């Protein structure tokens, strides 16, 4: 399995965990699930990473997001950016 795929699998696991967190607002959970579907898609890695990173813009700016959740999401975004850069 390519290294970038392993990273994506790890990110998906974190996103699923966040989506099950009771402190995460429902609208954020829906967006996280959408990102998981995008990352789990069979399209080329650069495309799905780009789509996922774009989705995070709305989430990061949501005022209802708890600070600890925002920190976790920043970690996920950072991981996805590193994976994306490794593919260039």
CATH number (domain holding residue 43): 1.20.1440.50
Both tokens of 22, joined, read 């009771």
Q: Look at the block and give the residue holding tokens 């976790």.
A: 72
pLDDT computed for residue 57 by the predictor: 85
Q: In the chain, where do the E strands start and end?
A: none
Low-confidence ranges of the chain (pLDDT < 50): none
Q: 88, 82, 65: which is closest to 8 by C-alpha?
A: 82
pLDDT computed for residue 2 by the predictor: 76
What DSSP designation does 5 have? H
For residues 70 and 76, give the distance between their C-alpha atoms in angstroms, rounded to a whole number. 10
- pTM beyond 0.85, yes or no: yes
Q: What's the structural domain count of the chain?
A: 1
pLDDT computed for residue 21 by the predictor: 94
Print burial letters for 74-88: b (CB count within 10 Å at least 16), e (below 16).
eebbeebeebbeeee
């Amino acid at each position: 399995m390519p290294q970038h795929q392993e990273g994506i699998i790890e990110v998906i696991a974190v996103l699923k965990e966040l989506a099950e967190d009771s402190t995460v607002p429902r609208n954020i959970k829906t967006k996280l699930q959408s990102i998981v579907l995008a990352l789990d898609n069979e399209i080329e890695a650069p495309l799905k990473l780009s789509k996922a990173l774009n989705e995070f813009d709305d989430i990061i700016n949501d005022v209802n997001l708890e600070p600890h959740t925002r920190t976790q999401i920043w970690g996920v975004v950072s991981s996805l950016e590193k994976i994306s850069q490794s593919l260039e």
